[in-house]
Amino acid sequence: MLKNFDDLLDQVKRTEPRKVCVAVAEDRAVMTAVRDAAEMGFINPILVGNEKKIAAVGEEIGFKNYEIVGCSSEEESLVKAVTMVHNREADVLMKGLVNTAVYMRGILNKEYGLRTGRLLSLLAVYQLPQYHKLIYASDSGINVAPDLEQKKVIMTNALEAMKKFGLERPKTAILTANEMLDPKVISTVEAAALTEMAAKGEIPPCIPEGPISFDIAFDKAAAEHKGIQSKIAGDVDLLIFPNIEAGNIMGKSWLHFNQAKWAGIVLGAAAPVILGSRSDTPEIKINSIALACLAAAK
């Protein structure tokens, strides 16, 4: 069980270093995080982009040990970086100084991209001062209103990655507004269906409960008060959200009011993808790189 991001970093440091390929790498914040991850010993960085600009930033921040692939434009840099991951010359793809929409188009390119035929989904990981271990959550950033089959893939993506983090049977809460099955509330119907799929082995091993409300998932006393016999209440590992709004609002509320720390990666591609934002702190970037490297384990 990983209690916090320090545990995550300790775990990834014990693994074989992964090759992380940064598309359009000439960004000081990104290069600083990549430098720190390289100095911790769990990545071998490949920086793709404008050679002169990358070298200048590298000199400014004291970053020397990296491979550089020079390109003359943003488009060429993106194509080259994605192609290298496609060809398994690198294990992880990371976003540098490139527009998110352009970055995603490169990932989904039919010729050189990282398509697998599987739905892409965001796995977010949160460290909360009030909780005793890391919380994994999906999907709060890519799929707006996933249907039942899409939720099944989202859940599968998350569980397969979590197994590589050392979680064999994650306690999984398929969240809805309440724990009652109501035909008028489609999220409760789909949560019950996902729980049944997991029981039949159609989803990777986990301990699922759904429909389940947030208070029941995180408060064993609340479950007992309502007469609910729960195997996960108060000890949840993975949250599956009914839609992007629920996941996005919950995550941002944790960050704003609970001093939460977080990291995130995109799953479902041929290799883990780090999406990231220019507003992400160096800590978020480093934690996301570590998460992606664990997810890239063979």
In sequence order, what are the beta bridge partners of 18? 43
Residue 93 shares a structural domain with residue 181: no
Assess whether 94 and 109 both reside in one domain. yes
The domain of 82 spans 5-116+269-295
- Residues 253, 276, single domain; the answer is no
Query: For residue 94, how many C-alpha atoms fall within 13 Å in the half-sphere facing its CB?
Result: 37
Please tell me whether residues 59 and 189 are part of one structural domain: no
Residues 177, 163, single domain; the answer is yes
Q: pTM above the 0.85 mark? A: yes
Same domain (yes/no): 160, 232: yes
CA distances from 237 to 158, 221, 261 (A): 11, 18, 16
Cβ contact 174:212 at 8 Å = yes
3-46 pLDDT tens trace: 999 999 999 999 999 999 999 999 999 999 999 999 999 999 99
Are both 83 and 61 inside the same structural domain?
Answer: yes
Query: Is 277 in contact with 121 (CB distance < 8 Å)?
Result: no
Residues 102 and 50 in one domain: yes
CATH label of the domain that carries residue 81:
3.40.50.10950
Same domain, 179 and 83: no
The yes-or-no verdict on residue 297 having pLDDT over 90 is no
Residues 229 and 180 in one domain: yes
Contacts of 56 (CB under 8 A, 6+ apart): none
Domain count, the chain: 2
* pLDDT over threshold 80, residue 298: no
Claim to verify: residue 99 and residue 145 sit in the same structural domain: no
At 237, the pLDDT band (50, 70, 90 cuts) reads very high
